[in-house]
Chains A and B, each alone.
Chain A
Amino acid sequence: MEKRLREILLKTQRHLLLERRGEHLSRFAGEGLDFRELRPYTLEDDIRHLNWRSMARSLQPAVNVFNESRQINVVRVYLNSGGLAIGRPRSKGDLAAEILAALGFAALLGEDPTGALFFDQKLRAWSPPSRERFAIERDDAFARSLASAGRSVDYDALIPALLSRLKRRSVLYLIGDFMQPADLGALAQRHEVNVLIVRDRLDEELPEGEYSVIDAGSGRRRELLLDGATRRRYRRIVREHDATLAETFRRRRIRWEKIYTHEEAIGKLIRFTRRGG
């Protein structure tokens, strides 16, 4: 195995150990051993799940809800866009690839089958969920070879592409820079959607001066002067965009995390997966 991937694997293992071991990257309620919460009894509930102790205490029927312990598919979605090229020395693309690999390993260690989907305007690659390590290596290689320049994510095409491939309820990890507005509501209805926003400082804080500014997504070029006021306004606009994004995610019950290129990514990622529920 490639040294870089081995490092990712080791880091993932370490962080998984630091957190709790043996968990799935899922939060589906269902049959399992992993107690999740108490919920008032409804007529649909199996009486086998009644929590008698709680009922005795509160004189109300309550049922135990367990996280689903069955193996579920973890699908990593690599949202390839031009913006991923941004970032020095580590680009957002590097970061996204690292996250992709780390997630793969984490799923593997949790013995969940994991697949990967690469998408920009159209589907670039699809590797169906499996528990093969080489699949992760292959995905990593593909992620690193994927050209990003001039590409942007077409969410309207992405969602049907995903939905048609995921027959079972799956855990989705969408990795992208999310610099465009995105509505993932249709996905979140059926699947557990997690969003990992990869960002570089440059996305939010522009340098000062005159630049020939290129839109990484479309390749459009404009000569712009970035003075103090412009930079301030840009910062505000990105912050507002992020706030809107966070608000839609909250409403769709989508969990999200922002990871910067200068941050220690894997620790943050694993903590994010553990914090679930």
Chain B
Amino acid sequence: MIHFAFPWAFALLPLYWFCERRCTPPRPSLSVANLEFLQRAAGRVGSRERWIRRLVVLLIVTALADPVVTRERTLHNARGYSVALLLDASFSMREGQRFATAKRVLADFIRRRPTDRMALEVFGDRARLAAPMSYDKQGLLTILHYLQSGAAGGRDTALYEALFSGAKLFAGEPRKNRLMILLTDGIDTVGNLPLSAALARVKKEGIRVYTIGVGDDFRRGVLERIARESGGKFYDASRPEALAKIYAAIDRQEKSPIETLRITRSRHYYRIPLGIAVLLLLLLLGLKIRQRQGIVPVALTLLLSLIALYGPSLSGRPITVQRSGGDLLVALDVSRSMEARDLYPDRFRFALHKFERLLTSLHRMRVGLLLFADRVWLVAPPTGDYAVLRKLAAGIDLRRLERGRSDWPALIEAASKLGDEGKVHPLLIFSDGEGIDDPQRLARQARKKRLRLYGYGTATQTGATIPDGEKLLRDGKGDVVVTRLDPAFAEAVRLSGGRFFGARNDDGDVRRLAREIEKEYGAAVGGEETLRQRTELFWVPLGLALLVFIFPWRRRRGVGSA
């Protein structure tokens, strides 16, 4: 919405109106025997000039009032708090909707703190990173939404390990305002790490830990100690309903200095009235030149207005802000065949490398990352935080995934859930194409789910064997399996309307691909953008111009009769 930054400037208008009749110095008066003759002679000249003057004043005042369209923006990469959310995901959390409640309350908490960077770690048998430190709350919420209890094994509770590894999440974060919220319903049952070690680590990192005990068999003393020693606070949430209050309390206690994290982007429109004023001033100057009087003030006003029109400003520190375009979903095939070594060092690493190259070539897309084999793993929902994506991609450990033959329809299904409704999203698949039964049906499914497939074939035509430990992977009959690039992959991609790229060692293809995708889907306002908090100074010359214009310069003239 357009509004005025300094609406009080309009107070000058009645002042001018008053001044027009009161503060001008008494002009030399001139008696005429018949004013009517003179009025007829003057016609509208005098009043025309007066109206031009009034209009100029109105326009300059409007410009001074600074019509502006502001957009409040939260700087995601501005650092507020760094918050690690540690969520107990052991099976015991299933009891009495504890986990669901915790998730809901946590989501609410995440939404309440838009300026913080947050990470999510779940722990059960072991601690697992669900989302690294990122400002991308949407991604975090998506991950949280899909989180199940038992996501990290559910029989045990690796509480201290979670505490210890949670401290690692803060690497690279500013030491100020580190916060950890630990929610558990039990005690540490793994015992691979003493509490003192975990606590020492947490204290060394300068993290305040808020501990929340849920249910009835958590060990109060331990949680209290963690909180006390780290400078946080312990909350007892024996009933899950109390959780909401606790998060609200933490939210209140740790207020982000939000104002510094918001940036107001203003688009100033003072140039429009000012431009018109300048045109009118030119007209007035022409009149004045013809009258051969009062030229200097008008010329000075014009000059100052032109300076104001040029828009002098003081620029402050530049702030770089990411702006996001459309979503690009990237799926990496992680089936066994991707371990084949016909590409260096193997197909998967090759694909990963290409993915990273892709990230360097992309500028404005939000990228989501999926892994797929016989099931689909969401690594990252679409995010503009490429650093996180790199971190996540680098952390992918194939050995941890139990995987078989690629399930393509499942991939399409999963990918379709990630994008925004109603828009066609590109889905870039790094795969050897193994597992596609019917390219036509796959393309049809993709179209129906509003996905356009882009393919990057990470395999050679020649094919290769698949290593299986020291040996080679063999099929049921005991024959060595050889995988090749499946032409059905390219076919499916082509049918869905996308483009297929063959594996090449130089990275120009990825750059081309990135350019193509951005051209087509990155149309949303975008790019990395350098914001400058500029202090507009146009009002200085403009105010002077107004003063010069209003100031009663006219000298007394000796002609005429009193």
A binding-site residues for B, Cβ under 8 Å:
81-83, 85-88, 177, 179-180, 202-203, 206-218, 220-231, 233-234, 236-238, 241
Contact = CB atoms under 8 A, between A and B. Distances in A.
Contacts of A203: 32-33
B46 A225 contact: yes
B34 A215 contact: yes
Which one of B33, B35, B294 has the greatest number of beta carbons of chain A within 10 Å? B33
A85 to B, nearest CB: 6
Main secondary structure of the interface of A (DSSP, over half): mixed
8 contacts: A87-B561, A88-B561, A211-B27, A213-B38, A214-B29, A214-B31, A222-B46, A223-B46
A229 B38 CA distance: 12
A208 B558 CA distance: 11
Contact of A230 (B33, B34, B41): B41
Nearest to B50: A223
Interface string B82-107: 00000000000000000000000000
Interface in B101-144: none
B272 to A, nearest CB: 29
A212 B43 contact: no
A86 B291 contact: no
B34 to A, nearest CB: 4
B1 interface: no
A230 B45 contact: yes
Contacts of B31: 82-83, 85-86, 213-216
A169 B45 CA distance: 50
A237 B49 contact: no
A83 B34 contact: yes
Interface string B542-562: 000000000000100101110
Nearest to B40: A237
A10 B562 CA distance: 33
B297 to A, nearest CB: 13
A210 B554 contact: yes
A226 B554 contact: no
A213 B35 contact: yes
A225 B37 contact: no
Contacts of B508: none
Contacts of A224: 38-39, 42, 46
B391 interface: no
Interface of B: 26-43, 45-46, 49-50, 290-294, 554, 557, 559-561
Nearest to B36: A215
B28 A225 contact: no
Contacts of A218: 35
Contacts of B41: 230-231, 233-234, 236-237
A230 B29 CA distance: 17
Contacts of B34: 83, 179-180, 215, 217
B33 A233 contact: no
B485 to A, nearest CB: 87
A82 B27 CA distance: 20
CB-based closest 3 A-B pairs? A83-B33, A215-B35, A234-B41
Contacts of A179: 33-34, 37
B30 A211 contact: yes
A31 to B, nearest CB: 43
B33 A86 contact: yes
Contacts of A226: 30, 38, 42
B33 A213 contact: no
Nearest to B557: A209
Contacts of A222: 35, 39, 46
Contacts of A228: 290-291
Nearest to B27: A212
A225 B42 contact: yes
Contacts of A229: 45
Contacts of A85: 31, 561
B291 A216 contact: no
A86 B31 CA distance: 7
Given A85-B31, A207-B559, A228-B291, 6 more contacts: A87-B561, A209-B559, A211-B27, A225-B45, A226-B30, A241-B37
A88 B31 CA distance: 12
B57 to A, nearest CB: 16
A230 B37 contact: no
Given A230-B42, A230-B45, A211 B561 contact: no
A223 B294 CA distance: 15
Contacts of B290: 227-228
Contacts of A177: 33
A62 B373 CA distance: 144
Contacts of B43: 230, 233
B561 A202 contact: yes
A177 B347 CA distance: 112
B5 to A, nearest CB: 35
Nearest to A92: B33
Contacts of B32: 83, 86, 202-203, 206, 213-216
A225 B35 contact: no
Contacts of B50: 223
Contact of B557 (A88, A207, A215): A207
